[in-house]
Structure 1
Amino acid sequence: MKTTFYSNGKLLITGEYLILDGAKGLALPTKFGQNLIVEKGNNQEIKWTSYDADGNIWFDEIIPISFITSSISVEEESVKNTLIRILRSAYQLNPEIFLNSEGYTVKTHLTFPRKWGLGTSSTLINNIAQWFKIDAFTLLKNSFGGSGYDIACAQNDSPILYHLEQDKPIVEKVKFNPSFSKDLYFVYLNQKQSSKNAIASYKEKKNNLETQKETINQITQLILTSDDIHTFTEVLENHEKILSGILETKTVKESLFPDFDGTIKSLGAWGGDFVLVISKKNPRSYFLNKGYETVIPYEEMIL
């Protein structure tokens, strides 16, 4: 018997690192994601094969179930050991998954390039949580860590407002369909960022952020209710300035695209992955000339 699970990718429009401290963020599930197919296997092992968006195998390993159910140390950083840690955390939340099991054959398929940062890890964690019939937010907390907005995107097919209350995820489905969406683009910066490293850097630099957090919450609400591109642009530029001050880092426009005629906003881990571009004319030629080949219109990216 074959069972298939699927999870959406994610993009965080507002909030960024401040979500870790309770700020509200607007998050958008993407049309890209990852599936996970589970079939019965044998030899008391998991045969795991992962395919990239182009159909090529990027990970292919056999993991004995006894290795997941034991406490054998897996300190060294590798894709295999990361997967073992996630599976071990999942098993601890539902040990019955391996009762009377002869083994499994598992295949995963991404519909976006891994380097894009749309949620290779979060879609995997949510899919594993579905397979194990456990809470994905708990699995994330016990394995990778993070705010959990990406898990919320994995589980929802519409825009969401996301925040933490006493470390518990609060997810609210919202309407977000700007009339000027034809002027919105996502550009990949050719630099895959590590969420773990970015979060660690943020925690080192942050101070008392109550004022900034409240301002970000107001910006998020304005973004939701604004149907005017000028207001939308203005508040997002303000968002960039606030994060720039907190992180003591230049905005992406200042550092990479100072001559661009339009607005550019960082998304997620600053300095890599995608940026949101607001431009009255198609900016593809500008970014191609700068060496950035992935320019995706809003309608092609967002669910």
Structure 2
Amino acid sequence: MKQTFYSNGKLLITGEYVVLDGAIALALPTKFGQNLVIENGSKQQIVWKSYDADGSVWFDDILLFSEIIAKTSFENNTVKTTLIEILHHAYLLNSNFITTSEGYIISTELTFPKFWGLGTSSTLINNIAQWLTIDAFQLLKNSFGGSGYDIACAQNDSAILYQLVNEKPIVRPIPFDPKFKDQIYFVYLNKKQSSKTAITNYYKKQGNTSKIIPVINEITNAVITNILSTEFVQNLEKHELEMSHILEMQTVKELLFPDFDGVVKSLGAWGGDFVMVVSKENPYTYFDKKGYEIVLPYSKIIL
């Protein structure tokens, strides 16, 4: 029997990093995501193949049930090691998929280029959780780590406010449809950022975040309630400055685009993946001249 599961990708608009400490974050699911296709197999193993958006295979290997149970690691294959770790923790939450099966043939299919960083891992974890009817947030926490906002995006088809309260995820779907969305673009910085590394660096640098969390919460609430582009822009700029102080990093606009006539806001892990741009004019020519060819309008990427 063939089973197919799908999860949405994600973009974190406000609350990056501090969402880990309880700040309210605004996140948007994307029109891009990942499929997981499950078929019966044999030999107490999983024949696994992962496809990128262009149809190319980026991972192709065999995972033995015994390796999943033992959480075997492979020094020369970090992808396989990570995948086995996720499946091992899935096994601890629901062992039936190993104990009652002869094997599987599994494929994953991204609908966005893998290097974009829209949630290759989170969409996989949520798909596995759907397949095995286990808690995706718990599976993420046990295996990969992170705040879980990306899991919430994987499960929702509208904008969400996301917050950790006593380490438990609170997800609130909200309407978010800016009248000026034709002035909002998303630009890929030609560099995929590791979420794990970014989180580690954040915890090394962070001081007392208790004072900044109410400020970020206020900005997030202002972003979702202000319908005027001028106020929206001002709040984004304020958010960038606050996070710049916490992270002890230049804003992406200061670093890369100081002459840009508009707003540039980092999303998620600073230094890579996408940034959000608000511009009265189509900014494609500006970014293309600087070597950033992937410029997506709001309507092309946000669900």
TM-score, normalised on structure 1?
0.98
Residues 1:89 and 1:282: Cα distance change in structure 2 (over 3 Å): same
Q: 1:49 aligns to what SS in structure 2?
A: strand
Deviation of 1:73 after TM superposition, in Å, equals: 4.8
Q: Which residue of 2 aligns with 1:262?
A: 262
Q: Is the 8 A contact 2:262 2:277 kept in 1?
A: yes
Whole-Å separation in 2 of the counterparts to 1:165 and 1:76: 38
RMSD: 1.0
8 Å contact from structure 2 (residues 72, 81) kept in 1:
no
1:16 matched to 2:20: no
Residue type of the alignment partner of 1:87? L
2:179 aligned partner = 179
**Matched ranges for 1:1-303 at <5 A:** 1-74=1-74, 78-303=78-303
Secondary structure of 2:17's partner? helix
| 1:79–1:21 CA distance, 2 compared to 1 (3 A) | same
Shift of 1:99: 2.4
Q: Distance in 2 between matches of 1:88 and 1:281?
A: 49
Q: In the alignment, residue 95 of structure 2 is paired with which amino acid?
A: P
AA aligned to 1:272 is: G
Percent identical pairs in the alignment equals 62
Report the residue type matching 1:137 in the other structure.
F
- SS of 2:28's equivalent in the other structure is strand
SS of match in other structure, 1:16: coil
Tell me the alpha carbon deviations over residues 170-218 of structure 1, each in whole angstroms, 9 at most, x when there is no partner. Answer: 0001010000000000000001001011001110111111221101001
1 CA distance for matches of 2:127 and 2:45? Answer: 19
Distance between the aligned counterparts of 1:116 and 1:184, measured in 2?
Answer: 18
- SS of match in other structure, 1:88: helix
> Cα deviations across residues 81-111 of structure 1 (Å, max 9, x unaligned)?
1100000010011011222311000010000
CA distance in 1, matches of 2:68, 2:200: 28
| Cα distance in 2 between the residues matched to 1:72 and 1:256 | 42
Is the 2:73–2:81 Cα contact (8 Å) retained in structure 1?
no
How many pairs align?
A: 303
Q: Hey, what's the Cα distance between the residues in 2 that align with 1:243 and 1:38?
A: 42
Deviates more, 1:163-172 or 1:205-214: 205-214
2:245 & 2:77 partners in 1: Cα distance? 33
**Following TM superposition, by how much is the alpha carbon of 1:66 offset from its aligned partner in structure 2, in angstroms?**
1.6
> Is the 2:16–2:268 contact (alpha carbons within 8 Å) kept by the matching residues of 1?
yes
- Deviations for 1:103-142, whole angstroms, at most 9, x for unmatched residues? 0000100000111010000001101111111100000001
Q: Tell me the SS of whatever aligns to 1:227.
A: coil
Distance verdict in 2 for CA 1:18–1:42, change over 3 Å: same
SS in 2 for 1:236: helix
- In structure 1, what residue type is equivalent to 2:133? K
Divergent runs of 4+, >3 A: 71-77
Letter in 2 for 1:226: N
Shift of 1:69: 1.6
Deviation of 1:71 (Å)? 4.6
CA distance in 2, matches of 1:172, 1:165: 13
Query: 1:72: Cα distance to partner?
Result: 4.0
Following TM superposition, by how much is the alpha carbon of 1:76 offset from its aligned partner in structure 2, in angstroms?
6.0
Structure 2: distance between partners of 1:71 and 1:142:
13
- The answer to whether the Cα contact below 8 Å between 2:71 and 2:85 also exists between their aligned partners in 1 is no
